[in-house]
């Protein structure tokens, strides 16, 4: 059977199981969503945001792209961010990278992948900023892991540079920003970085008139 047909079959089984376990399940979910968390993760099929966090429909608002990047010209990400912060009023934003990320590997290589080279440049720039620290490590695996962590940290800092987050922090303490790395080898998420409205901002990126 082709993979996509299996999905439709699984879906029917899943829907009937939900109703069996909780007859009002779908009725409740058709009401407006009020998730407290925005998840910005990698598109990688091995990192399903809800499965690895044990969350259910309605609990997390999700944006995924290659290597969980926060790029200030990405209209898609910015729209998700603005909606999550200003309308859903999420309390937490999580940027979650992962062990063995192909996007990070692409950034460490000198191979062209076509159009997506432009996207990968963002990670190469993180590498460039921390080249000495990364290149000092003895093995490829350690280098890859450190770049994964530094990339997550950089993306959290990119969030804090946006007018959306600066504006939210000017008016209150939420959202809290978190940088996490998911380890494919044991399924454990390791927090690596945090920012909140009290974190001193980089004066270069401060916007005073918003
Ligand atoms: Co990845």
Q: What is the pLDDT of residues 98-151, one digit of tens each?
A: 999 999 999 999 999 999 999 999 999 999 999 999 999 999 999 999 999 999
* Residue 142 belongs to some domain of the structure: yes
- Cα(46) to ligand 1 centroid in Å equals 9
* Residue 100 belongs to some domain of the structure: yes
Q: Residue 32 pLDDT > 80, yes or no?
A: no
* Residue 210 belongs to some domain of the structure: no
* Residue 153 belongs to some domain of the structure: yes
The 189-195 sheet, strands edge to edge: 60-65, 37-42, 92-98, 176-182, 189-195
* Residue 18 belongs to some domain of the structure: yes
Q: Are residues 78 and 162 in the same domain?
A: yes
Tokens of 59: 């609990």
Q: Are residues 7 and 39 in the same domain?
A: no
Told to judge if 96 belongs to the known catalytic residues of this protein, a careful annotator would answer no
Q: Are residues 63 and 25 in the same domain?
A: no
Listing DSSP states for 105-140 in one string gives HHHHS----GGGHHHHHHHHHHHHHTHHHHHTSSSH
What is the per-residue pLDDT for 133? 98
- Cα(192) to ligand 1 centroid in Å equals 16
What is the per-residue pLDDT for 33? 80
Told to judge if 101 belongs to the known catalytic residues of this protein, a careful annotator would answer yes
Tokens of 29: 């979910």
Tell me the mean pLDDT in the region 180-189: 97
Q: Residue 9 pLDDT > 90, yes or no?
A: yes
Catalytic residue among 46, 72, 128, 131: 46
Catalytic residue among 63, 98, 99, 178: 98
CATH number, domain containing residue 98: 3.40.1050.10
Q: Which helix (H) or strand (E) holds 20?
A: helix 3-21
Q: Are residues 113 and 16 in the same domain?
A: no
* Residue 63 belongs to some domain of the structure: yes
Q: Are residues 63 and 97 in the same domain?
A: yes
- Cα(82) to ligand 1 centroid in Å equals 24
Q: Are residues 3 and 63 in the same domain?
A: no
Told to judge if 56 belongs to the known catalytic residues of this protein, a careful annotator would answer no
What is the per-residue pLDDT for 210? 83
Hey, what long-range contacts does 43-52 have (CB within 8 A, 24 or more apart)?
44/98, 44/101, 44/102, 46/98, 46/184, 47/96, 47/98, 47/182, 47/184, 49/96, 52/182, 52/187, 52/189
Task: Check residue 101 and give left, alpha or beta (phi > 0: left; psi -120 to 50: alpha).
Answer: beta
* Residue 148 belongs to some domain of the structure: yes
Q: Are residues 41 and 19 in the same domain?
A: no
**Which structural domain, as residue segments, surrounds residue 143?**
35-205
Helix %, strand %, coil % of the chain (to 5): 50, 15, 35
* Residue 188 belongs to some domain of the structure: yes
Handedness of CA 185, 42, 124, 161 (dihedral sign): negative
Q: Are residues 91 and 128 in the same domain?
A: yes
Q: Are residues 14 and 54 in the same domain?
A: no
Q: Are residues 173 and 91 in the same domain?
A: yes
Q: Are residues 130 and 118 in the same domain?
A: yes
Tell me the mean pLDDT in the region 61-81: 98
What is the per-residue pLDDT for 85? 98
Residue that has been written with the tokens 């303490």 in this structure: 173
Tell me the mean pLDDT in the region 182-207: 96
Told to judge if 198 belongs to the known catalytic residues of this protein, a careful annotator would answer no
Q: Residue 172 pLDDT > 80, yes or no?
A: yes
| Domains contained in the chain, number | 2
Catalytic residue among 63, 96, 99, 101: 101
Q: Are residues 62 and 155 in the same domain?
A: yes
Tokens of 190: 């390791």
Mean pLDDT score of the chain: 96
């Amino acid at each position: 059977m082709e993979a996509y047909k299996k999905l439709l079959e699984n879906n029917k089984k899943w829907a009937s199981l939900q109703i069996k376990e909780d007859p009002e399940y779908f009725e409740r979910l058709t009401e407006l969503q009020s998730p407290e968390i925005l998840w910005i993760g990698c598109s990688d099929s091995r990192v399903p945001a809800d499965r690895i966090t044990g969350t259910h429909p309605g609990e997390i608002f999700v944006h995924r792209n290659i290597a969980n990047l926060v790029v200030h010209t990405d209209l898609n990400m910015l729209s998700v961010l603005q909606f999550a912060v200003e309308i859903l009023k999420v309390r937490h934003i999580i940027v979650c990278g992962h062990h063995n990320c192909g996007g990070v590997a692409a950034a460490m290589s000198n191979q062209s992948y076509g159009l997506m080279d432009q996207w990968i440049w963002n990670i190469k720039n993180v590498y460039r900023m921390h080249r000495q620290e990364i290149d000092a490590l003895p093995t490829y695996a350690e280098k890859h892991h450190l770049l994964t962590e530094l990339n997550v940290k950089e993306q959290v800092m990119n969030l804090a540079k946006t007018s959306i987050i600066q504006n939210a922090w000017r008016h209150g303490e939420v959202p809290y920003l978190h940088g996490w790395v998911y380890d494919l080898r044991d399924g454990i998420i390791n927090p690596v970085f945090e920012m909140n409205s009290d974190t001193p901002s980089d004066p270069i990126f401060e916007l005073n008139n918003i």
